[in-house]
């Protein structure tokens, strides 16, 4: 039987705001295996919109370290491809077009609330960074009130969130649902300085890059319902989502500095080889025995995402004193 399903397309979406740590590397490994084991294509998209936090030189370093780990991609800022540009900062036209469509439909409205509040809400892809529910202060302003406020300062833009839960099926967690209206409220899609928020940029770019499979850390699980609302509002096809558990230290807490050497670069500088680092990530993911020495390509045959353990991956970074 002929299949009309689109070819599998996955992506890496690193933010060049901090060094590549074992948690990001493990998510990247699983995203790579998930796509490569199904004969799909991978795009590298650099999420560099968070101006003040983006550090020069980090993009090149992250890409180089991912390659050192044996991961590769078919499209990206360094290799080109048909869906470029592959840096979010160069995709302003796509983001602005989507914002216009939301405004034209009355689905985005200007918000004049304090800059600090908006800055926090707009660049917070991770649940723990988010503030309280937006109370809807600017939702019902009259045209005259808007014009009056806009004369004093440019507004941010919020998405008008419909009431009710937004269920979706996650490839790892199964049925999930979040009530965006009740928890987050109308969220920011563009800042007053014109920079699109993570939620809008990620949806627009994943859709424009024809991404069929989004695999990322489950700290982004609560964002998914927001993103689904944007896919629907913009009339874009939704990808499949799979959110993998985070990496934790031996004490079960989210991996942090106090657990020891955590960045791929640090381990490399200490002389730890790529097969040992990949082996650590793979054994923490139930894909290889403890202390295995493997490369990603060794793990492709027989990889199944549903065999990855449900509980967070435990890594004892501090154990890395010798290669
Ligand atoms: N750029 C985000 C991060 O580094 C990932 C966004 C996503 O995968 O949707 O946390």
Q: What is the pLDDT along the chain (323 residues), one digit of tens a residue?
A: 455 667 999 999 999 999 999 999 999 999 999 999 999 999 999 999 987 889 989 999 999 999 999 999 999 999 999 999 999 999 999 999 999 999 999 999 999 998 676 666 666 676 556 778 898 999 999 999 999 999 999 999 999 999 999 999 999 999 999 999 999 999 999 999 999 999 999 999 999 999 999 999 999 999 999 999 999 999 999 999 999 988 887 777 777 666 666 899 999 999 999 999 999 999 989 999 988 999 999 999 989 998 898 888 888 654 443 33
**Catalytic option among 53, 126, 254, 257:** 257
Residue 273: exposure state from Cβ atoms within 10 A (0-12, 13-18, ≥19): middle
CA neighbor of 237 nearest in space, from 247, 245, 227: 227
For 91, residues 6+ apart whose C-beta sits below 8 A from its C-beta are 85, 201, 204, 205, 208
CA neighbor of 33 nearest in space, from 55, 2, 8: 8
Give the nearest ligand 1 atom to 11 CA: 8
Return the residue whose CA atom lies nearest to atom 6 of ligand 1: 13
CB 171 within 8 A of CB 242: yes
CB 305 within 8 A of CB 172: yes
Residue 279 catalytic?
no
E-state strands within the chain:
9-12, 41-44, 108-111, 156-159, 166-170, 174-178, 188-190, 213-217, 240-244, 247-248, 313-314
The CATH number of 91-238 is 3.40.50.620
pLDDT at 92: 97
What integer best gives the mean pLDDT of the chain?
91
CB 313 within 8 A of CB 26: yes
- State the CATH class of domain 9-88+246-314: alpha beta
pLDDT at 2: 54
In whole angstroms, give the CA distance from residue 138 to residue 259. Answer: 44
**Equal CATH topology for 9-88+246-314 and 91-238:** yes
Query: Is residue 206 in contact with ligand 1, taking CB distance under 6 Å?
Result: no
In the chain, what is the greatest distance between 2 CA atoms, to the nearest angstrom? 68
Query: Is residue 47 in contact with ligand 1, taking CB distance under 6 Å?
Result: yes
In whole angstroms, give the CA distance from residue 32 to residue 283. Answer: 16
Structural domain spans, the chain:
9-88+246-314, 91-238
In whole angstroms, give the CA distance from residue 240 to residue 35. Answer: 12
Give the nearest ligand 1 atom to 216 CA: 8
CA neighbor of 50 nearest in space, from 17, 84, 97: 17
Tell me how far the alpha carbon of residue 128 lies from the centroid of ligand 1, in angstroms: 14
Return the residue whose CA atom lies nearest to atom 5 of ligand 1: 13
Among 26, 32, 42, 125, the mutation site with the greatest number of ligand 1 atoms within 8 A of its Cβ is 125
Q: Does the pTM exceed 0.75?
A: yes
């Amino acid at each position: 039987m002929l299949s009309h399903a689109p070819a599998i397309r996955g992506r890496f979406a690193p933010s060049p705001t901090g060094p590549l740590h074992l948690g990001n590397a493990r998510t990247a490994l699983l995203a790579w295996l998930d796509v490569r084991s199904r004969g799909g294509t991978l795009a590298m998209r650099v999420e560099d919109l968070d101006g003040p936090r983006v550090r020069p030189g980090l993009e090149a370093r992250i890409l180089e370290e991912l390659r050192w780990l044996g991961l590769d991609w078919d499209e990206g800022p360094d290799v080109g491809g048909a869906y470029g540009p592959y840096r979010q900062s160069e995709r302003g036209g796509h983001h602005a077009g989507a914002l216009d469509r939301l405004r034209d439909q009355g689905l985005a409205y200007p918000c004049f609330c304090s800059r600090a509040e908006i800055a926090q809400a707009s660049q917070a892809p991770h649940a723990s960074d988010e503030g309280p529910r937006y109370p809807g202060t600017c939702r019902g302003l009259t045209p005259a009130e808007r014009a009056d406020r806009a004369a004093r300062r440019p507004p941010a833009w919020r998405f008008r969130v419909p009431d009710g839960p937004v269920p979706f099926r996650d490839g790892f967690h199964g049925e999930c649902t979040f009530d965006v209206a009740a928890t987050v409220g109308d969220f920011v899609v563009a800042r007053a300085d014109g920079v699109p928020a993570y939620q809008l940029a990620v949806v627009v770019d994943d859709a424009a890059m024809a991404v069929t499979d989004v695999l990322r850390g489950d700290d982004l699980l609560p964002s998914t319902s927001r993103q689904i609302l944007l896919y629907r509002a913009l009339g874009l096809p939704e990808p499949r989502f799979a959110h993998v558990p985070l990496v934790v230290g031996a004490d079960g807490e989210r991996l942090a500095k106090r657990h020891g050497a955590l960045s791929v670069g640090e381990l490399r500088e200490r002389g730890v080889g790529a097969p040992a680092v990949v082996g650590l990530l793979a054994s923490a993911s139930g894909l290889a025995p403890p202390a295995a020495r493997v490369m990603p390509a060794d793990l492709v045959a027989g990889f199944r995402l549903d065999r990855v353990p449900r509980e967070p991956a435990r890594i004892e970074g501090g154990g890395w004193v010798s290669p």
